[in-house]
Amino acid sequence: MSETQTLEIAGRLWLNREGCGYLGAGRIELLERIDDCGSITQAAKRIGMSYKTAWDAVEAMNNLADQPLVVRATGGKGGGGTCLTDYGKQVITGYRVMETEHQRFLTRMADNVKNFDQINNLLRAFCMKTSARNQFRGQVSDLKKGEVNSEVKIDLGEGLTIAAIVTNEAVAELGLTLGKEAVVLIKSSFVLLSPDENLRISARNRLYGIVRETIPGAVNSEVKLELPGGRILTAIITKESLNELGFAPGQRACALIKASHVILAVND
């Protein structure tokens, strides 16, 4: 498994006019080379750009600018050529100043954002596509291997811990070790709810919280339980169970989840 590379903030400055692309680093470099060479042909060759692409860029800039940036010099002893106007030179200077400030902004942003790699992992977790309604991030706090399966405990913070039973092969493939970040996935249909917090049952995971919302359906109903730290755990129960157990907003309840029903994932 390859080591995770450090995430960096990067960006390039681009200016638009009237909703159209006007100036960017590539076009500014083209203008600078035209100023050096006095020729679009030679300028394009220096930066690895085709003559047509260079001329199209020049025409686009001239069309969007208040004044021409580039003009053709005709005939004469030197045989003509292409040169920048004074306004074109001012545009280059102005862009380079803005580019410097833009880079300073990116540097300040990188300095001010703490634990940037952890934020990157969080963004990747948000982008994870899964049918499981409940997704929580945490770290492996305990790992006990058996002959075939392992018990993995994930610390979610705020005193919440989820136990999962997975195969030893899965532990190896996911690279699960103490301190490893992992995502806990729990299907809403696997969550059992009880108003009795002292109910004796074999389910390894007991999460206590407050009912925040109930959404009755024709057959099944959705119950949202707020856990410590503001996390929301969603359970799907039958409409009959909702009525019989009397779940209502503000009521305390206990969520019961079998360890074998907990799925673990990693972002690596």
Residue 78's pLDDT is 43
Residues of the chain with pLDDT under 50: 1-2, 76-79
Q: How far is CA 240 from CA 103, 197, 213, in A?
A: 61, 20, 17
Q: What is the pLDDT of residues 10-20, one digit of tens each?
A: 788 888 876 77
Return the residue matching tokens 């545009």. Answer: 91
CB atoms under 10 Å from CB of 71, counted, come to: 13
pLDDT at 201: 82
Q: Indicate yes or no: pTM above 0.75.
A: no
Domains of the chain: 14-112 (1.10.10.10), 119-265 (2.40.50.100)
| Mean of all residue pLDDT scores within the chain | 85
* CB under 8 A, 24+ apart: contacts of 242-251: 242/214, 242/216, 245/193, 245/194, 245/195, 246/195, 247/193, 247/195, 247/211, 247/214, 247/223, 248/211, 248/214, 249/211, 249/212, 249/213, 249/214, 250/210, 250/211, 251/195, 251/210, 251/211
Rounded Cα distance between 213 and 122, Å, is 26
Per-residue model confidence as pLDDT tens digits over 120-132:
555 555 555 555 7
